[in-house]
Structure 1
Amino acid sequence: MDRFEWCDGQLTLDENLVVQKSGVALYDGQEKTSFEGGMLMLTTHRLLWRAYRNNNCVLCLSLSLCVYIEEQPSGFTKSAKIIVHLHPALANKAPGPAASSSFTYVRLSFRESGEKEFFRYFKEQLENKKWEKTDTVPPPQQIQQSAPRHRAGIIGIERAIQKKQEDTDKNISQAFEDLSNLMEKAKEMVHLSKTIANKIKEKQGDITEDETVRFKSYLLSMGIPNPVTRETHGTGDRYYNQLAHELNDILEIPINDCGGMMTLTDAYCRVNRARGMELLSPEDLLHACEIMESLKLNIRFRVFDSGVMVLQSRSHNEEETIEKTVDMVKKKGSATAEELSQLIGVSVILAKERLLLTEKVGGVCRDENVEGLRFYPNLFLDSAA
């Protein structure tokens, strides 16, 4: 703490505020101090600490005294800290809270979080060394002897914060412009992929039909060229009807490939991956799935007794699924949902629903113990037959 000096907390004309965090305590090495719960401010030249209850209690530390910094993560009852390793104190430095210290470092304890952001900015300022690039700034020990200088004070801090907000708004606007351009390019790429796929499909000779269809599926997996949105397809029933048709087109083949059934969570991930930047909300997806039955689409929405929601192919044969599940359990002697999912290549949730559905019609029996839920062939039904 012998490197800190008392100050009035005002910024010089060539000093700018970078970031500030509340609820910060100062440690002299490993020892606690009375400087707790204050406002810590990082400028381009100094660290400033101001007490909450006494605004006249302000400490400053020149960044030129900092050797390097490191992070100390939080523990069960300990807050995260930044360790600041320091050069020896100047012999003719201004008065401070301590005349001497046995430690060569101080710790900044962040009681209200925010240490990662502060550490990032702190490290940047130490790398920039702006205090060395300012020729007109006299060293700290000469400030009191020289003529009074104009200081920015509260107005300077407010201007620095305002400038930082303006720069942030400008960067955000530019980022959204870049995203818009990226979306336009993505639509062009998807359109191009469709064109290439159609030309390859029309080509006769060296390329087989299977290779053509496979390559077309790879190209179309890049995304949807014109996803259904409220801006392009209106609102209300018309929007949900168009969205249901789009979901049917996207998911029909993947659902058939995975056995005729897919959980709604998996479908949500697949659809949003294909839609790119035009992400779909869970509420819109659910509402569109609920009207699939009335639209007589190739896939339909179903909710199991357990509450699991799935999309199911209309051609899915439930009796055939139950028979296959019974045969697999008989061949293995017994099966859990995890084991069945590996055998048939579906998620554990769907494998469990198959077993529960088969149990409901008497195809299998359950054994529930400390190891979990395991299903066995229904020998009672076989004996009765």
Structure 2
Amino acid sequence: MGPTFPPGHRRTDRQGALHARPHGPGSPPRPASAPPAARGRRRLSSTRLIAPERRRGRAAEAGLLAAMDRFVWTSGLLEINETLVIQQRGVRIYDGEEKIKFDAGTLLLSTHRLIWRDQKNHECCMAIPLSQIVFIEEQAAGIGKSAKIVVHLHPAPASKEPGPFQSSKNSYIKLSFKEHGQIEFYRRLSEEMTQRRWENMPVSQSLQTNRGPQPGRIRAVGIVGIERKLEEKRKETDKNISEAFEDLSKLMVKAKEMVELSKSIANKIKEKQGDITEDETIRFKSYLLSMGIANPVTRETYGSGTQYHMQLAKQLVGILQAPLEERGGIMSLTEVYCLVNRARGMELLSPEDLVNACKMLEALKLPLRLRVFDSGVMVIELQSHKEEEMVASALETVSEKGSLTSEEFAKLVGMSVLLAKERLLLAEKMGHLCRDDSVEGLRFYPNLFMTQS
């Protein structure tokens, strides 16, 4: 006879069967175990987990309970014979079930490696060869949990390069996809594991050895690490500057050689030597002019005194006369400076030399002259440029529109705002215009006292 229990008392045995005493006289006894169908369903659900659990067990034995120590530091650059397959942002790495510091990065799959790069610190980049993977499996997303890919790994080789961890208690890692994309990534990774392309195209050994200094980035922490990183950056900057100036020096040497060559050819054309037709001569001269002046006036040729500025003034006429005629006969000295130096190529002018040369234009009776407005603005204009015509044109334009600002006037006549304002101020000085200077800006009107009287 079994043990007696108080009325309403219940107990659970080791198999999970529920026993109860009757609540009262005549009550039917409750079943001692679940129906057979229910027992069958439980066994089926547990049977589904047997194969993956066994596989995990085999991977754990093969991996010697270590996972994150498979990763090695890398530059993140693809090596020879290596091809990028797919990449996905927002991937977090778990060491087994444990969260680690690598929580937000870009995961790259190549034909040879899985590469993880930190999205904030691009210098933090590590990789694991695909040959280290035993098998992979998917883990569906849940409430508050993102989908994951579980990667089971072989033990690390004895010759493994340094990485973020020296040892770990897990035989697998999890890749958590916060921004989705795990389905396509799993498919492509499965294809690479099946094709095993890394066996057909081994990477260059010379490039693999370039990853040696990477551990220093993690070990150098604190102030010492910051100072070391700043020193490395300074050395790299110095190296880049040295290489840039070396290339610039080579370019200047080549440019001087090309200038000498163009002078030689120009002299031969001038002397009419060789079988060169007139059309070829004209075409070649146009090429030289498009590159710059064939024979620029330099201090080496004419010294640094008055003779140099006189020759420079004559050369300015040849450069500026056509552009001045196209632009209404007047240009600011800033525009002139840019135009002249662009034409001279390597033999650049200083602003002081340009001003001194422009001051000699009128004394040499050349078709150009330097003009200084009351505001101090300096311009170069043609000798044929008449002040009265300029003022009359400004008055006519302002009268047609009723009133204009210097910006509106510049847009209408097609010149710079600086020159447009000087022209309006000159017309005001001569009494043809008057101004309204308010918070909205300076606006010019026709002077009705002059026109109506």
Normalised by the size of structure 1, how large is the TM-score?
0.54
Q: For the residues of structure 2 that align with 1:66 and 1:195, how far apart are their CA atoms?
A: 70
Q: For the residues of structure 2 that align with 1:231 and 1:177, how far apart are their CA atoms?
A: 17
Q: For the residues of structure 1 that align with 2:342 and 2:211, how far apart are their CA atoms?
A: 57
1:298 to 342, 347, 367: 367
Partner SS for 2:335: helix
AA of the residue aligned to 1:340: F
2:205 to 133, 136, 142: 133
AA of the residue aligned to 1:330: S
AA of the residue aligned to 2:127: H
AA of the residue aligned to 1:176: M
Counterpart in 2 of 1:13?
Answer: none
How far is 1:370 from its partner?
4.0
1:168-207 matched pairs, under 5 angstroms: 171=247, 174-187=250-263, 199=278
AA of the residue aligned to 2:115: V
How far is 1:337 from its partner?
2.1
Deviations 1:96-139 (A, max 9, x none): 688679999xxxxxxxxxxxxxxxxxxxxxxxxxx943499799
Q: Taking CA–CA contacts closer than 8 Å with sequence separation of 6 or more, which of the two structures ends up with the larger relative contact order?
A: 1
Counterpart in 2 of 1:346?
Answer: 415
How far is 1:309 from its partner?
1.4
Q: For the residues of structure 2 that align with 1:186 and 1:69, how far apart are their CA atoms?
A: 53
Are 1:67 and 2:115 matched, yes or no? Answer: yes
How far is 1:178 from its partner?
2.2
1:315-330 matched pairs, under 5 angstroms: 315-330=384-399
1:363 to 429, 432, 452: 432
2:304 to 216, 230, 235: 235
1:118-157 matched pairs, under 5 angstroms: 132-134=204-206
Q: Is the 8 A contact 1:223 1:273 kept in 2?
A: yes
How far is 1:266 from its partner?
0.9
Q: For the residues of structure 2 that align with 1:354 and 1:320, how far apart are their CA atoms?
A: 11
2:325 to 256, 262, 265: 256
Q: For the residues of structure 1 that align with 2:408 and 2:349, how far apart are their CA atoms?
A: 33
Q: For the residues of structure 1 that align with 2:288 and 2:210, how far apart are their CA atoms?
A: 65
How far is 1:164 from its partner?
9.4
Residues 1:168 and 1:346: Cα distance change in structure 2 (over 3 Å): closer
Counterpart in 2 of 1:86?
Answer: 126
AA of the residue aligned to 1:302: R
Q: Is the 8 A contact 1:367 1:374 kept in 2?
A: yes
Partner SS for 2:431: coil
Partner SS for 2:369: strand
Residues 1:134 and 1:327: Cα distance change in structure 2 (over 3 Å): closer
Q: For the residues of structure 2 that align with 1:380 and 1:193, how far apart are their CA atoms?
A: 64
Q: For the residues of structure 2 that align with 1:4 and 1:169, how far apart are their CA atoms?
A: 37
Q: Is the 8 A contact 2:330 2:382 kept in 1?
A: yes
Partner SS for 2:322: helix
1:27-66 matched pairs, under 5 angstroms: none
Aligned-residue Cα RMSD (Å) equals 4.9
Percent sequence identity over aligned pairs: 44
Residues 1:103 and 1:178: Cα distance change in structure 2 (over 3 Å): farther
Structure 2 residue runs without a partner (length 5+): 1-67, 74-100, 106-111, 133-154, 177-202, 213-231
Q: Is the 8 A contact 1:250 1:271 kept in 2?
A: yes
Q: Is the 8 A contact 1:65 1:86 kept in 2?
A: no
Q: For the residues of structure 1 that align with 2:292 and 2:211, how far apart are their CA atoms?
A: 60
Q: Is the 8 A contact 1:190 1:223 kept in 2?
A: no
Q: For the residues of structure 2 that align with 1:366 and 1:217, how far apart are their CA atoms?
A: 48
Residues 1:81 and 1:280: Cα distance change in structure 2 (over 3 Å): farther
AA of the residue aligned to 1:133: Q
Partner SS for 1:280: coil
1:157-172 matched pairs, under 5 angstroms: 171=247
Residues 1:103 and 1:247: Cα distance change in structure 2 (over 3 Å): farther
How far is 1:171 from its partner?
5.0
Deviations 1:129-179 (A, max 9, x none): xx9434997997xxxxxxxxxxxxxxxx9xx99999998786555433322
- Rg larger for: 2
How far is 1:357 from its partner?
0.7
How far is 1:217 from its partner?
8.1
Residues 1:273 and 1:166: Cα distance change in structure 2 (over 3 Å): closer
Q: Is the 8 A contact 1:68 1:85 kept in 2?
A: yes
Are 1:265 and 2:334 matched, yes or no? Answer: yes
Counterpart in 2 of 1:18?
Answer: none
Partner SS for 1:182: helix
Q: For the residues of structure 2 that align with 1:339 and 1:136, how far apart are their CA atoms?
A: 65
Aligned length: 268
Partner SS for 1:294: coil
Counterpart in 1 of 2:42?
Answer: none
Structure 1 residue runs without a partner (length 5+): 6-26, 32-63, 73-79, 105-130, 141-156, 203-211
Residues 1:83 and 1:193: Cα distance change in structure 2 (over 3 Å): farther
How far is 1:353 from its partner?
0.8
Counterpart in 2 of 1:310?
Answer: 379
How far is 1:190 from its partner?
6.7
Deviations 1:60-91 (A, max 9, x none): xxxx9893769x8xxxxxxx953544225996
Q: For the residues of structure 2 that align with 1:327 and 1:135, how far apart are their CA atoms?
A: 75
AA of the residue aligned to 1:321: M
Residues 1:103 and 1:269: Cα distance change in structure 2 (over 3 Å): farther
Q: For the residues of structure 2 that align with 1:193 and 1:270, how far apart are their CA atoms?
A: 27
Q: For the residues of structure 2 that align with 1:346 and 1:192, how far apart are their CA atoms?
A: 42
Partner SS for 2:435: strand
Normalised by the size of structure 2, how large is the TM-score?
0.47
Partner SS for 2:122: strand
